[in-house]
Structure formats: C-alpha cells, structure tokens
A and B are shown apart, each in its own frame.
Chain A
C-alpha cells in the first residue's frame, strides 16, 4: 500500500541554520505531495504542496521539490526562526474517490536562539 517515510526527530537547530527534513514515499500512480505543519496547541495547516513531478512547492521560506526519480519530497529552509518550531508532516494523496491523505509519522523541529 501507499506509505510515507520521514526522518525521525527531534531535529534541534540554532536560529538561522539551514533545515532539511527528508521525506520519501511509496505509491502507485502519480500522487500529489504535501507538507503540513502543526504548531503547539494548534491544528494541522497546509505548508506547501506539489501536484506533479518536478514541481516545487514553496511558502514562508520553505520549499520542497517533487522528485519522481527518487520518490522524494524533502523540505528545506535556508534560515530557520524560533517561530518555526513545530511538528512537520509529509503526506501524499492520490486522485479518485478514496482520496485520503497518507501521512508520515511527523518530525519535530526545535529551533533555539
């Protein structure tokens, strides 16, 4: 079945450091790929998405490129802030009547001053 694998956390970085959170997927067909973020005490929010191979999703300084050849969708940010501390979830979604999101286990990011 479909699955998403994320790097385990927690990831601890100093402010202004470079961030990479790895995400790989297994799926038949051509899924859309998503990164969701969950800030402490809040619900899941869509961070960015890409719907086809080689697409780059970007938002709030974060970006991820849909790499079909490596089945990856790694999240990157050039300079993290304390306010980026949250749990990040990679997810895929296939078209069709059962278009559920399949999530990874999440990666907790902690940014310190």
Chain B
C-alpha cells in the first residue's frame, strides 16, 4: 500500500514570500493532519481534517497559515507571508478515522527554510 506522499521535499524562500505544501494521504483515510516540527522539538499539530471538514485548527496561526482539503482527499497548506520562525519540517499524516487507537501514518515531510 502506498504511503502518505508530500511535496516538495525541500523549499527555501525569503521572509515575506509565500509557499505551499501538498499532501496526498493513504487511500481511504478519512482523517488528515498537518504537523509542524521545529528543529529539536516534537511535532506540533497545526490542523486536523475529518474528510473535508476542519476538526481542530486551534494552533494554526490563521493570520498567515491556511489549509484546505477539497473533496476530502488531497490537502494543501499555505504560508503567506512567511516569517523566519516558520523554518521547520511540515509533516502530513493520515489515519482511517479519529479513534485514539487508529495509527497515524506520516509522510516524509517538507523541510522549509526561511531566509
């Protein structure tokens, strides 16, 4: 079975520029997550989708970050404008559903460097 796909793998931009990341979850997975992993820290949830609806975006900086999951499959995460502190690895994960016993499967991540 194919895993979670993400692109691009690496991105370097200057501050105040915009950037977008793409995620394709495992087929049939209803729940999709975006996490931010700053160097030396554990991943932190930015937003959770159940199908194409937002379940939790309490830690998403909504003044600059946005995300969508049209048709309940692929998802994009956008940052506009980027700040230096947004340098991190952005991880996408998916699970069958939102039960606490469901395994979350992670993609390889997109490493963002903001100069």
Identify the A interface with B (CB < 8 A): 4, 31-32, 36, 42-46, 49, 51, 89, 91, 93-101, 103-106
Contact = CB atoms under 8 A, between A and B. Distances in A.
Contacts of B103: 46, 49
B56 A100 contact: yes
B41 A101 contact: no
Contact of A97 (B50, B91, B101, B104): B50
Contacts of B50: 97
Contacts of A89: 42-43
Interface in B84-115: 91, 93, 98-109
B41 A45 contact: no
Given A44-B43, A44-B106, A97 B100 contact: no
Contacts of B21: none
Contacts of A101: 33, 35, 43, 45, 93, 104
B101 A105 contact: no
Chain B interface category by residue count: 20 to 34
Interface string B27-70: 00001010100001111110010100001101000000000000
Interface of B: 4, 31, 33, 35, 40-45, 48, 50, 55-56, 58, 91, 93, 98-109
Nearest to B92: A43
Given A43-B107, A94-B100, A97-B55, A106 B48 contact: no
Contacts of A42: 108
A99 B99 contact: yes
A45 B56 contact: no
B93 to A, nearest CB: 8
Given A42-B108, A43-B107, A44-B106, A99 B98 contact: yes
